Amino acid sequence: MKIISATCGLLITFLPCLAGFGQQQGKIEGVVRNEQGIAVAGATVKAQPEGVVLSSAVPQIETDAGGRFEMDHLPSGTYKIFAMKESAGYPDTSFAFYSNQRFPKLVLRSDAQPAEIVLRIGPPGGIMTGIVSDAVTGRPVAASFILRRVSDSRLWISMAQRSDYRVLLPPDVEVAVEVSADGYSAWHYGDSVDRMHRRPIRLRPGEEKKLNVSLQPSATKAGN
């Protein structure tokens, strides 16, 4: 098994000590493969400890050129394992919106051999890009995107985006898209005014959709 050098330029390693988690330490190693079984280099693998509240970096590492990864010194316990590579269309599946509650778990025991897993990611999501601007002035506007699965509105995600945005959508899933910014009325895909005419957007794996968004300045509130 190849041991990833700690000085590797592409390495990201966050291996926290988990208070209240097992004090014994173990190791997870494996490979990330896409929907075609091809190893994915440069993917980020996160091992999110279960039953532990977080206010810090979770253990994470980047895969090497062969798609392999190795996380050492992990306290024993149960981990949710996620892999992502947003630049290639593979979103952060630590969010339920993307994982649809399907993700691997791993129980790490210190007395066992290193846990060897194969993480499958993909198919890639759809990619929505475009420009958010002021409908009156045309000025670029940084905005917040809220995406919601139509089939289960409890699965949502909210993210800050620059004016020239890039948002990943789970593939072949109908998603309601809302764009908002301070001082502007919220924009909904389909029709921002008539709720009945709002439509979801659905993209195929890897499909890229360009969509410019014009935000209407909200009416000034009357003073008290």
DSSP state letter for 76: S
Size of the site for another protein (CB under 8 A): 54
Asked if 60 and 74 count as a contact pair (C-beta separation under 8 A), the reply is no
110 binds another protein (CB under 8 A): no
Burial class (CB in 10 A: 0-12, 13-18, 19+), 200: middle
Report in angstroms how near the CB of residue 149 gets to another protein at its nearest.
11
Token pair 């994982």: residue: 99
| Strand pairing report for 68-75 and 25-33 | antiparallel
Q: Tell me whether residue 56 or residue 197 sits nearer to another protein (CB atom).
A: 56
Q: Is 133 one of the binding residues for another protein (CB under 8 A)?
A: no
Q: Please name which of 49, 32, 50 lies closest in space to residue 41, comparing C-alpha atoms.
A: 32
Q: What three-state secondary structure class fits 50?
A: coil
Q: How many residues can be counted in the chain?
A: 224
In this chain, which stretch among 64-72, 159-167, 186-194, 199-207 interacts with another protein, using CB under 8 A?
159-167
Tokens of 2: 């190849």
Rounded distance, CA 99 to CA 143, Å?
Answer: 24
Cβ at position 17, least distance to another protein in Å: 5
Nearer Cβ to another protein (166/197): 166
Instruction: Give Rg (Cα) of the chain.
Output: 21
Q: How far apart are CA 138 and CA 164, in angstroms?
A: 13
Q: Which is nearer to another protein, 1 or 12 (CB)?
A: 12
Kindly tell me which of 160 and 222 has the beta carbon lying closer to another protein: 160
* 3-class SS string, 101-116: CCCCEEEECCCCCCEE
- Indicate the residue among 83 and 201 with the shorter CB distance to another protein: 83
The reply on whether position 186 binds another protein by CB under 8 A is no
Instruction: Write down the least CB distance from residue 55 to another protein, Å.
Output: 4
73, 139, 199, 204: which one binds another protein (CB under 8 A): 73
146 binds another protein per the rule CB under 8 A: yes
Of 3, 36, 53, 193, the residue at the interface with another protein (CB under 8 A) is: 53
Task: Rule CB under 8 A: choose which of 90, 97, 187, 189 binds another protein.
Answer: 97
183 lies in the site for another protein, by CB under 8 A: no
Q: Are 151 and 221 in contact (CB under 8 A)?
A: no
Binding site for another protein (CB under 8 A): 6, 9-21, 44, 46, 48-58, 60, 62, 73, 80, 82, 92-99, 101, 103, 142, 144, 146, 154-162
